[in-house]
Structure 1
């Protein structure tokens, strides 16, 4: 089901901060070339993200949102161009430019964008979809001017820095991204194939956002530059800035850096182009998967069409969780391991998609599943729409919108999207109205209009050699792609736009004084039943988030029954003695609350998110889940069977194979060597009685940890927690040792994955256990320049210089019992041996020669300026407080760590590097095509040992 972005609210949120009249009053900035458009203020009873909107004379739209709750800013630049504005035969350009925009510009050096943002203590990224490309940074507030300088330089001064060499390296990076995310992933080509069949040839949604590699192989750098000149003008962009800002100062900076950038060509809104089908189109493909899959896609409308909202409600009824019809008819009775419905919408078109994966024990093929899905649609027609269907959707809308306001990034991205696609940042209330006004009749109308009796693309994905499982013989073949001739764009064809300035853009703006960041104030208490509580108040949104950690994790179980805690978590998410699983899900949905129980190594985790007005009702349901699980045999059988199928299916994923083999090799024969989710063998050993016995033994409150972030004051939180008073008892204490294994080091363990498009690499060893301010933390600092940041040595080498991978990294990971140093990447299959050579070179060079002075400064700045981002959202606060409770820390540990960062010397770091980065103490795991890789790896001089899991 769609994640709602626009829910119903009945009053102004705390984030609005004030209650004033809304109006388009004139703003008195008096900055030449800056045109005031409107100011939208908070209003009681209305849902508003307050902002001011301006335009520059060159057409750039500027939206500013003030939020002084944290000393940080979020800068988003959205260009109204995605893959939907590419030309036939020139796919992938929009996504390609997302990569090129990080490769330096006229005044920003190669890789310097990453370095400057990271060194400022910030985070950043860029994303591309069919309709827009955006670039964003979250940084401490004193770094705003530097971010505007960076964004302006790549908007107005990029092309001279785009070289053929950079083009070719990033082309390889994009190929690696496609390999990792699509070609080497089970079912990875599903959406690409469906789009080819759904849309007519030449439709801008008929090709994937990442593009076809043959298109990128055929064009040259000037074709890309022409695309930039067409779409990346300021008049096709919106810059949205939110956080701790001064409006007048910020607009002066925007004018300074962006005002002189010339307009680009005029851009019109694209024409809506929903697909139309005159008959069902059956297509299929074989893939390296364990389970077959059927996917039915109906064309519908376009985003914000009047029928989008009722279609979303319909998708919820048919396939939105345990209360849905597909769940009842396919998953609950073990005919399918998974079934869902979605209604994704884009600017030009939307689709209504139904998906299912049959369970092997059911004996059903995809034709059988299609029949059940079509019968379910008939069942809906008879059932109709119930009151709870609408209540749940509107509650989900409200909750998701409020959660989206918990970060300044969430608010900025909402404003930016609304402006880009509607021209109105304050489109929230229109969106709210169209969902709030959905009626039962609307839902039935759209069902009859777009689904009943209509045609779809029906895609079958089956394991290799299993074509007998497809739903129906293919009756559609997409027309052959029209391929243009050789690129005709030359440098002489490009009409460059140059800005004229009265200042020197080559000077990097200095950051202002770093604003103090206060550690959240907190209070601590132990409940009468032994639960340790650590809580803080956060008043930005009317929400309560909790993390309950019960000492009942994976490490408490026997290795022969690995996966037991995962099955227990699944059962606690099922029926209670008072409610069926469907009834429980229905009640939580109507509250707009989420409760998710999951296993980890040491804990059974209960994650709770609720609107504060519903927290008492939500915790009553949590308490019921914990104290009164029904443990129904049929539910256990279904969850166990699904878990076994998941374990088998995981073996189709190279990353899973690599991580699992790596863990097995670096642990002795104990529970830590096995995945938390279990294996096919260990799961088969587990009975419902095993789960019940473990529950009775271990799911107890004594020594559990409860972390709370709420807008409630302490007394109100304490009253809320009284719901747990009847829960009593103490589980067994954890007694485990994880000795180092006698596994042979200095060799390569090769796990076969036939015809893998990429190879997964893990290089490492057992290392330090976790500490907060000791050698483990200091080793984290040591590794930062080697593999702990985007512009680390390893990533720059393998990704940016060589184009072998989409990303490479190294780092230390640990708990109280064991730790690892690991370097990892998923690399092009044909560059596996070369990638290992580069990994070894970088690790050995760093161990031998140590850190540079520049890297030491970079590390200090990057880590010590991150504080503004550590505590912003409830989720971030939960993680911070959980660390304090787990290690019994004083909040002053933050200052102690900052002092370590500031004072650690190059000599100390180099000593740690020599100690912990000895390659002779490490092993390597490689997952890929054994026939091809084994001779190549042996040619490097390594002993290569075949390994299977």
Structure 2
């Protein structure tokens, strides 16, 4: 749901800006005078109580840096977020992509931080990190063990105040190639990848800040030079344009001193004014068409609306949910359930300057030959809404989703800190969660109808048709919009004047030492066996009033007959449809009014049921679970619709090169006679063989207590949980067995298997071999320790070579993955087309060198620190705790296994790990799967294969 996503995952991805902070808290003079010199306390909300408030204190340094502290001692970790009020909206025409480009450059070292050292230090500390850019802001964040806080603040301060001299032409060129690779991977080589870009060009005037893509145009990335990038930094990256947010197990007094020490001396930057709101209007519809390598065409109608926190934003969000927010919506009823569309939805994404209302549908080509017909159905649905109006349930669903989404969104420190940062940047008020709940709760039926009439009814929109290549006749209407030519200045940017140096009384080149490692406790849990033999494992936590429940039924897709692969998935999909006492829509409506979710899925070795609920609604939610689990209706109409939709989706997925690669890898490793060589969801051919009677039989045979286990994490105490789950005690057990595997292929010679992806901008490289099944403390575990420096982290040998040194890829890695019975080694990534063979050579060179020479002592010590210190982050959220308990259940582990792993990490020798490298990284035992434009690369591939003694085998997928 759009509302849930925007409000509760920090309001950060789309920005919040309309309301200014209008309150203040008087702080006693004694508190102010006790602060370090140069720090002012602006607001103290540290005593905020309730499920919908985030306690915090807000301070400011003399240089204008605003920083926010949030105390949360529930886990021994801290999250640090630095958000700058600069996104692609601050760019000049002709220099698109700069904000995102600069995000990359901020990880390439600064005056006192060497190239790649930021990644190295955070990885070594056992933390995780990243940066994101959107149209309105750029943020950089790290989650680390609490003893690493000073180091993170040093790192962030160094790139805020001391980056410019470290920006070299060489780094600029490498990151330019990396950004171009990212665009190729995420936009140009993805089905529908140009959708948002082309709509923005038509919706907004040519000089509007939202008219160009965040990632930028290739011609702009090629045009600019390093001085342009430096000028962008000088203009926008001052402390006064940033918000520093710190949350977790912090010592407040010490944190204040560190912030003052590392950030206080950085000079104030140029003033950053807020941009004026820039919502737009269209005088008439604008039609445009993209021909793309897709199976399913797509139609999108986009209406301009308001801006974030405008008074009409909340009712527009409610309207979008009524029209297209899941199974209770009109779009689902009229398009999906009636079989006109494979997918249909409505959203209202909002940004700081403008919002847009989007109607999207992918038609069922068996019933809809033209997008014009689909547009007619969509417009009639709008007319139906006008006649139908808004019901009480419509409003209740929205309010329940807001409530539950808020609570679930505050389960992690990162979620809370990101919320505080985003709200401060765009509204000047860090905690607006309660405010947002209230403004959505106050939406009336009249409000929703008013905004429908004001922004949607009979209003002009951008209408985009995406059609398969060569099938322009399917478009909704001939294009009538022509992108205006951009006005691009030919002015050459001179090297900017660097800001004044910071005045410090300490040596910034010294990396701060970490404090003592925090004590990490494995989550306490209790375990019992229910009357019917089901294993129940539960962890009680009072951090949020929520319950997460997972039911695992072992077997899943492995139980499918091979000629009916996808049967487990189809059955799981049918379990989410109508029951004997509820229609599909009625069930969805009841769950939505509770703010709860119940979902079924089949993947890997399991069929799983996932339940999320607020504690106050758990009984009502579990009553609906009983209905779903024990009384499915299995209507023929639902089966036909889902089967058709899944088949169309599979055909569309085959247009994705990553999907083709995944299918080819399992085909090569496991052969055509094994169920595991076919995707979990099956193929078009195998789905054609499945009947509704097959689904009913699968349910009768395998949905029972025989191989079932239950995991619970939440605020229910043991007696209450056992009482709530009493209905599962009556679930009968019916014995069944999981079939044995057929013999796997034996590779008598090494080969490169080619899957042709004509005209692909990128190639997907996968170097593979069979490997051991998962174990927690044996050879599989130790082999992953060995792989860490080779390809198991950002600063691995493989990624530094192919991404950072060569610019061939957005990312490359290697891994040893393992399940309960099987495992494999895989290395590779998405490679720029022209560098395909060169990347193959580098990958094999890295693997072969590592196989012969192994890791170094320095790499061993680095791996030890990264693995052991990362324990602080393992068990923070209910989801992570549930995964830990599931791991123990699936693999029969006990609570001591993390301690055993740490003992292995501390004591494993370099010789032991290098023997594993020598044993498992012999490239003659590895096969290559390549998804690429193999026709244009044929000669290069042939020459490389001959030089390696590899057979070239075309593969049809």
Fold similarity call, TM over 0.5: yes
| 1:239-263: CA deviation from partner (whole Å, max 9, x where unpaired) | 0000001111101000000000001
- 2:632 pairs, out of 621, 629, 632, with 629
Name the residue aligned to 1:476.
481
Q: Secondary structure at the match of 2:232?
A: helix
2:403 paired with 1:398: yes
Once the two structures are TM-superposed, the CA of residue 530 in structure 1 deviates from its matched residue by 2.0
2:325 paired with 1:323: no
2:562 paired with 1:559: yes
Q: How does 1:629-648 map to 2 (within 5 A)?
A: 629-648=632-651
2:88 paired with 1:83: yes
- 1:311 pairs, out of 285, 302, 316, with 316
Name the residue aligned to 1:831.
835
2:161 paired with 1:156: yes
List 4+ stretches of structure 1 deviating above 6 A: none
Name the residue aligned to 1:881.
885
Assess, with a 3 A threshold, how the Cα gap between structure 1 residues 45 and 874 changes in structure 2: closer, same or farther. Answer: closer
Name the residue aligned to 1:899.
903
2:529 paired with 1:526: yes
**Aligned partners of 1:847 and 1:917 also within 8 Å:** yes
Q: In structure 2, what is the Cα distance between the partners aligned to 1:544 and 1:879?
A: 14
| 1:26-64: CA deviation from partner (whole Å, max 9, x where unpaired) | 334321000110101344567320000000000000100
Q: How does 1:506-517 map to 2 (within 5 A)?
A: 506-517=509-520
Comparing 354-363 with 301-310, greater Cα deviation is found at 354-363
Name the residue aligned to 1:585.
588
| 1:401-426: CA deviation from partner (whole Å, max 9, x where unpaired) | 10111100000001001100001112
- 1:384 pairs, out of 380, 383, 389, with 389
Name the residue aligned to 2:816.
812
2:240 paired with 1:235: yes
Q: In structure 2, what is the Cα distance between the partners aligned to 1:106 and 1:36?
A: 30
2:273 paired with 1:273: no
Once the two structures are TM-superposed, the CA of residue 102 in structure 1 deviates from its matched residue by 0.5
2:941 paired with 1:943: no
- 1:796 pairs, out of 797, 800, 811, with 800
Name the residue aligned to 1:18.
none
Q: In structure 2, what is the Cα distance between the partners aligned to 1:206 and 1:467?
A: 25
Q: How does 1:566-581 map to 2 (within 5 A)?
A: 566-581=569-584
| 1:253-310: CA deviation from partner (whole Å, max 9, x where unpaired) | 0000000000110111111001210000000010000011000000000000000000
**Aligned partners of 2:754 and 2:932 also within 8 Å:** yes
| 1:571-596: CA deviation from partner (whole Å, max 9, x where unpaired) | 00100011011111111101101111
**Aligned partners of 1:737 and 1:817 also within 8 Å:** no
2:915 paired with 1:911: yes
2:927 paired with 1:923: yes
Name the residue aligned to 1:17.
none
**Aligned partners of 2:285 and 2:462 also within 8 Å:** yes
Q: In structure 1, what is the Cα distance between the partners aligned to 2:748 and 2:832?
A: 27
Assess, with a 3 A threshold, how the Cα gap between structure 1 residues 473 and 326 changes in structure 2: closer, same or farther. Answer: same
Name the residue aligned to 1:224.
229
Q: In structure 1, what is the Cα distance between the partners aligned to 2:652 and 2:845?
A: 35
**Aligned partners of 2:52 and 2:407 also within 8 Å:** no
Once the two structures are TM-superposed, the CA of residue 478 in structure 1 deviates from its matched residue by 1.2
Name the residue aligned to 1:13.
none
Once the two structures are TM-superposed, the CA of residue 616 in structure 1 deviates from its matched residue by 1.2
Q: In structure 1, what is the Cα distance between the partners aligned to 2:343 and 2:911?
A: 54
Once the two structures are TM-superposed, the CA of residue 23 in structure 1 deviates from its matched residue by 4.6
**Aligned partners of 1:532 and 1:703 also within 8 Å:** no
**Aligned partners of 1:42 and 1:48 also within 8 Å:** no
Q: Secondary structure at the match of 1:677?
A: coil
Q: Secondary structure at the match of 1:911?
A: helix
Name the residue aligned to 1:94.
99
* TM-score normalized by the length of structure 2: 0.96
Once the two structures are TM-superposed, the CA of residue 484 in structure 1 deviates from its matched residue by 2.6
2:599 paired with 1:596: yes
Assess, with a 3 A threshold, how the Cα gap between structure 1 residues 645 and 745 changes in structure 2: closer, same or farther. Answer: farther
Name the residue aligned to 1:782.
786
| 1:481-529: CA deviation from partner (whole Å, max 9, x where unpaired) | 22332x51122x4343321211000000000001101111110011112
Q: In structure 1, what is the Cα distance between the partners aligned to 2:705 and 2:162?
A: 60
Name the residue aligned to 2:660.
657
Name the residue aligned to 1:133.
138
- 1:844 pairs, out of 848, 852, 870, with 848
**Aligned partners of 1:672 and 1:738 also within 8 Å:** no
| 1:815-853: CA deviation from partner (whole Å, max 9, x where unpaired) | 122110000200101110011001000000000110011
Q: In structure 2, what is the Cα distance between the partners aligned to 1:897 and 1:488?
A: 57
For the aligned residue pairs, the C-alpha RMSD in angstroms reads 1.4
Once the two structures are TM-superposed, the CA of residue 431 in structure 1 deviates from its matched residue by 1.6
Q: Aligned residue pairs: how many?
A: 935
**Aligned partners of 1:41 and 1:48 also within 8 Å:** no
| 1:717-776: CA deviation from partner (whole Å, max 9, x where unpaired) | 111111323321224122323543124542211100110010001101001111110000
| 1:586-625: CA deviation from partner (whole Å, max 9, x where unpaired) | 1110110111111112211111111011111111111111
Assess, with a 3 A threshold, how the Cα gap between structure 1 residues 44 and 170 changes in structure 2: closer, same or farther. Answer: closer
Assess, with a 3 A threshold, how the Cα gap between structure 1 residues 44 and 790 changes in structure 2: closer, same or farther. Answer: closer
Q: In structure 1, what is the Cα distance between the partners aligned to 2:241 and 2:601?
A: 44
Q: Secondary structure at the match of 1:298?
A: strand
| 1:120-173: CA deviation from partner (whole Å, max 9, x where unpaired) | 010111000000000000000000000000000000001111101000000000
**Aligned partners of 1:7 and 1:396 also within 8 Å:** no
Q: How does 1:212-361 map to 2 (within 5 A)?
A: 212-361=217-366
Once the two structures are TM-superposed, the CA of residue 3 in structure 1 deviates from its matched residue by 4.0
Q: In structure 1, what is the Cα distance between the partners aligned to 2:601 and 2:26?
A: 49
Q: How does 1:439-450 map to 2 (within 5 A)?
A: 439-450=444-455
Q: In structure 2, what is the Cα distance between the partners aligned to 1:937 and 1:388?
A: 60
**Aligned partners of 1:785 and 1:792 also within 8 Å:** yes
Structure 2 unmatched runs, 5+: 10-22
Q: In structure 2, what is the Cα distance between the partners aligned to 1:146 and 1:823?
A: 32
* TM-score normalized by the length of structure 1: 0.97
Q: How does 1:392-791 map to 2 (within 5 A)?
A: 392-485=397-490, 488-491=492-495, 493-668=496-671, 669-737=673-741, 739-743=743-747, 745-791=749-795
